[in-house]
Amino acid sequence: MARIVRFHTHGGPEVLRIEDVEVSPPGPGEVRIGVKALGLNRAEASMRRGAYIETPPLPSGLGLEAAGVVESVGEGVDGLAPGDAVSIIPPRSMARWPAYGDLVTFPAELVVKHPPSLGFEAAAATWMQYLTAYGALIDIARLGRDEPVVITAASSSVGLAAIQIANSIGAAPIAVTRTSLKKKALLDAGAAHVVAAREEDLEARLKEIAPQGVRVVLDPVGGPIFTPLTAAMAPGGILIEYGGLSPEPTPFPLSDVLAKTLTLRGYLVHEITGDAARLEAAKAFILDGLASGALKPIVARTFPFEEIVEAHRFLESGEQFGKIVVTV
């Protein structure tokens, strides 16, 4: 038997339950993992509420990231063996491959031996944030050395990962956050500039920082912020949207899009994880960065597995700086 987090109805964090569930042995091409730590993502809160791109049958498990020790492997699995310390690449379907449990089974192609220097908590806080930021900034936008890049929701795990990736290639990350409360922490985390969107004129500040305009913008928020962001962009620029967290309508900035021939592009990390060649390139970049220290997961707070409801409440509070991790 395994302890698995499931929900039987959509709703707030209180709908999450820890239940004892029988886990089948790994099938061909699968790996069973004894979980040591979980990484939490806003996508999981969205699925729990019934607002995610995936609508699972209920009851459903959930979760996109975990790290632990290989317990057993199925037929045809090479390169992984019992006792290996591993972490999980986020699956396309967390209903089919849920990570919230003390014993989970995943396809072998989504299981990575992580560097020995990376502990289980840091490993559980790695793949979603760095794959998302890498895919947007490096794979799609082709961010270059000395280029400014605007990163909104900068204190989120993906935002901090984007700051680190931008710095690792010599770009200049401009962090956008709601208030100045996290300004010092963002500067300490490597932001070249920090703009508090609720306290400053976002368009004016971005134009002051980058008078020629910003070619690349990474945003998970949407809503009214599109107007000042696109106004401060350079001709031929690209705004990559990966979240849509704002409850307000997102305007289409027609005049700036036309005048500057801007690209407004939706992005899901599945673009990378679903393409073997792109995923291998991303893994190599991230593992090299972890080994060199250029990339270092920032953990905001850890919770024990039994406090998964409280962990989800904290996830939705917006108070975190970095990744929320649950230890098992």
Distance spanning both ends of the chain, measured CA to CA: 15
Nearest-10 crossing angle of helices 157-168, 127-134:
50
Question: Among 84-98, 111-125, 143-157, 246-260, which stretch is predicted with the lowest mean pLDDT?
Answer: 111-125
Ordered by where they begin, the domains of the chain are 2-126+297-327 (3.90.180.10), 129-270 (3.90.180.10)
pLDDT of the residue at 70: 97
Q: Which H, E and C letters describe 69-95, residue by residue?
A: EEEEECCCCCCCCCCCEEEECCCCCCC
Rounded-to-integer distance, Cα 216 and Cα 279, Å: 22
Rounded-to-integer distance, Cα 63 and Cα 3, Å: 14
190-193: list long-range contacts, CB under 8 Å, 24+ apart: 190/163, 190/164, 191/151, 191/154, 191/163, 192/148
Query: CA 52 from chain center: how many Å?
Result: 15
Rounded-to-integer distance, Cα 106 and Cα 211, Å: 48
- Compute the Cα dihedral for 98, 309, 241, 123 and give only its sign: negative
pLDDT interval class at 166 (50, 70, 90): very high
User: Is the model's pTM score more than 0.85?
Assistant: yes
**Does the pLDDT value for residue 116 go beyond 80?**
no
**Does the pLDDT value for residue 141 go beyond 80?**
yes
The length of the chain, given as a count of residues: 328
Q: pLDDT averaged over the chain?
A: 96
Residue type, 171: A
Q: Which of 230, 233, 231 is nearest to 214 (CA)?
A: 233
* pLDDT tens per residue across span 190-244: 999 999 999 999 999 999 999 999 999 999 999 999 999 999 999 999 999 998 8
pLDDT interval class at 24 (50, 70, 90): confident
Lookup: tokens for 173: 């990350």
Q: Are 273 and 279 in contact (CB under 8 A)?
A: yes
